[in-house]
């Protein structure tokens, strides 16, 4: 369905109907599949055709619909759906790396991503070099002739630093390295990571794709050769596949993702603009505001130059008080949800990091990340102003 626009593909791409002709995609809640004969079973283990399945850990019709639909939105040839966003990050990296390989990564990452790169990969003999993702000179200096892969979040969590996908991809490809991009903040609605040079794109489907706080999920996208030949063998043997029911929820999420994300982005821009006038806030970090230091890059890399989340800085002693005075905005640690969520990264998602590392990443005790949901923007502004006044 590549000839149709994204909003149409988000509703229809990848659909497979059973003999009953259902309107809503069927949930195939089965762990295995029946063969017509012993010879047919043998043949399927030799070679799986397009709509044939062996075992739910290897693939499932409902999961396949989700994979194909998201691949169509992303402009990727293929996808493999995973049990969570972190299963996708881990699978994307470990499936392609071996002892002795070298990886260059942006330093500004979600806490669990940092754990994989700082703790797990070195444990198995992979060397990892960290750079300031905003600084192309650091990427240029760190990428070596033997670099196997580079990894970054296109927009970092939670300080919203932006990596130049096209420029870093050009540097990586010059030495034959694969580019792995965690694109969760950009969302499939605004993403053009593959068109800009990324070889592999990773999403936590738990965020905007589900968008309603119902299920965990992740996905790895890339070329047919890479997904089928590198990612799929690793994932199906290590057991990180997505459940059919979660895949069905993600399919339902994709049907409305464009409407939700565009509404959330519009509200986030209005809320961020309103809060930028608040004298009690030391800073409002939002790529959609001209005050963001990388606003020009975001305008080139994303359309529009905006996100559904932003971060703000308050005095250290005021952060918890502000959070506790919120009424509509809930305190949690997800993002991209229909409900607006406030997160204090220093004490939750990035708690395990040493204070020096938090400081280097801009994760101060006063930093609050706000994920804007589908509530009325004026209600959110009033709720936040009420909490700000209390500090």
For residue 201, list its beta bridge partners: 181, 221
* Domain co-membership, 192 together with 329: no
- Residue 1 located in a structural domain: no
Q: Tell me the pLDDT band of 2, cut-offs 50, 70 and 90.
A: low
100-150 pLDDT, tens digit per residue, is 999 999 999 998 999 999 999 999 999 999 999 999 999 999 999 999 999
Residue ending a domain, choose from 219, 253, 287: 253
Residue ending a domain, among 221, 253, 285, is 253
**What range does the domain containing 346 cover?**
257-390
| 241, 292: one domain | no
Query: At 308, is the pLDDT very low, low, confident or very high (cuts 50, 70, 90)?
Result: confident
Mean pLDDT of 217-236: 97
Last residue of a domain, one of 253, 286, 318: 253
Using one digit for the tens of pLDDT, what is the confidence trace for 6-32?
A: 899 999 999 999 899 999 999 999 999
Which residue has 């002892």 as its token pair? 99
CA separation for the pair 297, 295 (Å, rounded): 5
pLDDT interval class at 305 (50, 70, 90): low
Q: What is the pLDDT of residue 313?
A: 84
Q: Which two tokens stand for residue 12?
A: 């229809």
Q: How far apart are CA 345 and CA 352, in angstroms?
A: 10
Let me know whether 294 and 215 are in one domain: no
According to DSSP, residue 23 is labeled S
Compute the mean pLDDT over every residue in the chain, rounded to the nearest whole number: 94
Give the pLDDT band of residue 168 (cuts 50, 70, 90).
very high
Q: Return the higher-pLDDT residue of 60 and 307.
A: 60
Q: Are residues 244 and 272 in the same domain?
A: no
Does residue 12 fall inside a structural domain?
yes
Number of domains in the chain: 2
Q: Is 127 exposed, middle or buried (0-12, 13-18, 19+ CB in 10 A)?
A: middle
67 with 205, same domain: the answer is: yes
Give me the pLDDT at residue 307, please. Answer: 81
CATH number at residue 328: 3.90.1150.10
Identify whether residues 278 and 187 lie together within a single domain. no
CB neighbours of residue 196 within 10 Å: 19
d(CA 155, CA 311): 12
pTM, full prediction: 0.95
Is the pLDDT higher at 303 or at 152?
Answer: 152
- Rounded to 10 deg, the angle between the 244-275 and 61-74 helix axes is 30
Indicate if 62 and 99 belong to the same structural domain: yes
**pLDDT computed for residue 304 by the predictor:** 64
Q: Does residue 308 share a domain with residue 200?
A: no
pLDDT (0 to 100) of residue 192: 87
């Amino acid at each position: 369905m590549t000839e149709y626009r994204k909003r149409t593909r988000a509703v229809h791409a990848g659909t497979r109907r059973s003999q009953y002709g259902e309107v809503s995609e069927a949930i195939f809640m089965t762990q295995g599949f029946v063969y017509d004969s012993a010879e047919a079973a043998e043949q399927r283990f030799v070679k799986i055709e397009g709509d044939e399945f062996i075992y739910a850990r290897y693939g499932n019709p409902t999961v396949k619909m989700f994979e194909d639909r998201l691949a169509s939105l992303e402009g990727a040839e293929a996808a493999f759906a995973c049990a969570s966003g972190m299963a996708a990050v881990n699978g994307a990296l470990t499936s392609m790396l071996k002892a002795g390989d070298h990886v260059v990564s942006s330093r500004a990452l979600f806490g669990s991503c940092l754990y994989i790169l700082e703790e797990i990969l070195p444990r198995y003999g992979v060397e990892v070099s960290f750079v300031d993702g905003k600084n192309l000179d650091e990427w240029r200096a760190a990428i070596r002739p033997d670099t196997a892969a580079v990894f970054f979040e296109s927009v970092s969590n939670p300080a919203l630093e932006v990596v130049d996908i096209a420029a870093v991809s050009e540097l990586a490809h010059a030495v034959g390295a694969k580019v792995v991009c965690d694109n969760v903040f950009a969302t499939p609605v605004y993403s053009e990571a593959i068109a800009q040079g990324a070889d592999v794109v990773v999403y936590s489907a738990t965020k905007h794709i589900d968008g309603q706080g119902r299920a965990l999920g992740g996905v790895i996208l890339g070329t047919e050769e890479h997904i089928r030949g590198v990612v799929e063998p690793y994932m199906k043997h290590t057991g990180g596949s997505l459940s059919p029911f979660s895949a069905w929820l993600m399919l339902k999420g994709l049907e409305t993702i464009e409407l939700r994300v565009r509404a959330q982005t519009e509200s986030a821009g209005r809320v961020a603009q309103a809060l930028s006038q608040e004298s009690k806030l030391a800073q409002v970090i939002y790529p959609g505001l001209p005050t963001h230091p990388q606003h020009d890059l975001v305008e080139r890399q994303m359309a529009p130059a905006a996100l559904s989340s932003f971060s703000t800085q308050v005095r250290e002693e005021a952060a918890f008080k502000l959070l506790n005075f919120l009424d509509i905005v809930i305190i949690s640690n997800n993002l991209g949800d229909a409900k607006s969520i406030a997160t204090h990264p220093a004490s939750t998602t990035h708690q395990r990091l040493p204070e020096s590392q938090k400081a280097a990443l801009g994760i101060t005790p006063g930093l609050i990340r706000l994920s804007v949901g589908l509530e009325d923007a004026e209600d959110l502004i009033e709720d936040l102003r009420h909490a700000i006044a209390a500090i």
